[in-house]
Structure 1
Amino acid sequence: MRTMRRLLATPEGAVGLALLACLALVALFAPVLSPGDPLRIAGRALTTPFSDPAFPLGTDRLGRDVLAGLIHGARTSLAVGLAAAAAALAMGLCVGLAAGFAGGLLDEALMRMVDAFQIVPGFLLALAFVSVVGPSVPVVVLAIALGAWADPARLTRAQVLSVRERDYVAAARVAGMHPVEIAVREILPNVLPPVLALSAIIVAAAILTEAALSFLGLGDPNVVTWGSMIAEGRNVLRSSPWLSIFPGIALVLTVVGVYLLGEGLTRALSGRRAAA
């Protein structure tokens, strides 16, 4: 609760949390706000925004409702971003914790693997993986996570190296605790806050990567995404620019909200550590 109060006390945290809360509510109640399949043909093609009450944001080249696509696209963006970030953080925490706590040859082997993944840009790795395996939401999530886990792993290892020789860890060893128990119960809670602060960057990058893959036609064709909506609008950008503008604005607001929430969370956690 103290962390939440500190988060809301920061302008960045309050604005970011408000933006993401609105987006989460839209995604959660998407079937209620826009029932039915958002990919269905709902009306006349290329209806301009605010000209038909049935389609407030107009329709695309096939007559699909743009507002319905934005609402249901929020579910895809949030689901992919959060799932990819959770997978990347889980992988990074496990690898970084094992490398930093064990040391020796295991540390060297795991860090060389981290170096190998960091050499390849995350987007190119995701692009290659999806191109080989095939586009679907689980594959996109795994592809993004494979390109994003190395940074949390390196940060976790650095944090573990800074705390593994402290008195409470030495006391746990003297008490006869198993090394795995020491790592999970004594070390992990103390290295988690900086890694969680990094999660905002991973979520924002995951949302942008998913949009870029969908823009290139490598997203799941059975779900509507903001990236695919932007790609659909580029063919009629001169005559119907709203088809790309509206999903682009939604994408920008989402990434800005995640970034602001991450900044607020970092300040709140820093204030908690300073107070401690």
Structure 2
Amino acid sequence: MSFLRRLVLSPTGAAGLALLAVIAAAALLAPWISPGDPLRIAGPALLPPFSDPMLPLGTDRLGRDVLAGLLHGARTSLIVGLAAAAAAVLIGSIVGTIAGFAGKLIDEVLMRIVDAFQIVPGFLLALAFVSVAGGSLETVILAIALGAWAQPARLVRAEVLSIRERDYVAAARVIGMHPLEIAFKEILPNALPPVLALAAVIVAAAILTEAALSFLGLGDPNVVTWGSMIAEGRNVLRAAPFLSVIPGIGLVAAVLGVYLVSEAAGEALGRGGRP
């Protein structure tokens, strides 16, 4: 049975994929459902949900459409989560492959660098980086990736150490393949499957980190995010709790969906090819 089929047939995986499909659809359709700038003034301030059919989720303190913010915020969260995870896995895979395949001094030096990054919590590293470099979306993605690449590096290194002595690797050495070609063409593809399950966890953590940075006012002020919406709503939490609750539900749904898919992917990979 294929990995994708095992993932879909798993109740956990199916639930996670359904949640992510809804969020992805909302993100993709945002320009058509709520065209224009989601930060523009759309109506009277603090309009409650379901009181105006043109503004079904109401407006915030400045009269901005909450539905538009929710949909466009989904796009921001998915872009940040996927891009940061891809960058972290790419950096970690390269470092882990070189460390595991080269061994000796190179392995020791690279692993000490990995240790240095793992000592500092990822959020604090991202917070410090964004505070210095600015809060653009690209900077936030890079900051999150810098705090998340060490774990994939360790996992890839462990996989490479178990693979590098196998017969097909020895055969590649015998026929004269370059060491880097052996490492990245023969070994790395076989070391990646466990990292893919970890990537889902990194996506969820990246979404939460971006929301936290935006909540603290360190995100991109020109881009609507769920974190900035929650921060905006905290100022009128008693009078209009929906301003924080609605984006909060979106954030919980996105993270829950990613974690469910991650759990199901881990189970599917653990079962291997068994039906």
Interval containing the TM-score (normalised by the shorter chain)? over 0.9
Match of 1:192 in 2: 192
Q: Which whole-Å CA distance do the structure 1 matches of 2:3 and 2:15 have between them?
A: 16
- Give unmatched runs, 5+ long, in structure 1: none
Q: Which whole-Å CA distance do the structure 1 matches of 2:192 and 2:111 have between them?
A: 19
Match of 1:93 in 2: 93
Matches within 5 A, 1:214-229: 214-229=214-229
Q: Which whole-Å CA distance do the structure 2 matches of 1:47 and 1:29 have between them?
A: 24
Q: Which runs of 4+ in 1 moved over 3 A?
A: none
Q: Which whole-Å CA distance do the structure 1 matches of 2:171 and 2:274 have between them?
A: 24
Q: Cα deviations across residues 116-139 of structure 1 (Å, max 9, x unaligned)?
A: 000101000000000001110000
Match of 2:157 in 1: 157
Report if aligned partners of 2:44, 2:59 keep a CA contact under 8 Å in 1: yes
Match of 2:143 in 1: 143
Match of 1:166 in 2: 166
Report if aligned partners of 2:2, 2:273 keep a CA contact under 8 Å in 1: no
Greater shift, 123-132 or 10-19, is seen at 10-19
Q: Which whole-Å CA distance do the structure 1 matches of 2:18 and 2:4 have between them?
A: 13
Q: Which whole-Å CA distance do the structure 2 matches of 1:186 and 1:26 have between them?
A: 39
Matching residue's letter, 1:134? G
- Give unmatched runs, 5+ long, in structure 2: none
Q: Which whole-Å CA distance do the structure 2 matches of 1:22 and 1:44 have between them?
A: 29
Per the TM alignment, residue 66 of structure 1 is displaced from its structure 2 partner at its CA by: 0.4
Matching residue's letter, 2:165? E
Q: Cα deviations across residues 142-201 of structure 1 (Å, max 9, x unaligned)?
A: 000000000000111111111111111111111211111111222112110001110011
Matches within 5 A, 1:186-265: 186-265=186-265
Report SS of the residue matched to 1:59.
Answer: coil
Match of 1:34 in 2: 34
Match of 2:20 in 1: 20
Match of 2:103 in 1: 103
Q: Which whole-Å CA distance do the structure 2 matches of 1:248 and 1:56 have between them?
A: 17
Q: Which whole-Å CA distance do the structure 2 matches of 1:188 and 1:111 have between them?
A: 18
TM-score (norm. length: structure 1) = 0.97
Match of 1:45 in 2: 45
Per the TM alignment, residue 274 of structure 1 is displaced from its structure 2 partner at its CA by: 5.1
Q: Cα deviations across residues 247-271 of structure 1 (Å, max 9, x unaligned)?
A: 0000000000000111111122222
TM-score (norm. length: structure 2) = 0.98
Q: Cα deviations across residues 48-93 of structure 1 (Å, max 9, x unaligned)?
A: 1111111111100000010110000000000000000000000000
Query: Could you say what the CA RMSD is over the residues aligned between the two structures, in angstroms?
Result: 1.1
Q: Which whole-Å CA distance do the structure 2 matches of 1:223 and 1:186 have between them?
A: 42
How many residue pairs match? The answer is 275
Report SS of the residue matched to 2:223.
Answer: coil
Per the TM alignment, residue 21 of structure 1 is displaced from its structure 2 partner at its CA by: 1.3
Match of 1:175 in 2: 175
Q: Which whole-Å CA distance do the structure 1 matches of 2:199 and 2:273 have between them?
A: 19
Per the TM alignment, residue 273 of structure 1 is displaced from its structure 2 partner at its CA by: 4.8
Report SS of the residue matched to 1:29.
Answer: helix
Greater shift, 161-170 or 241-250, is seen at 161-170
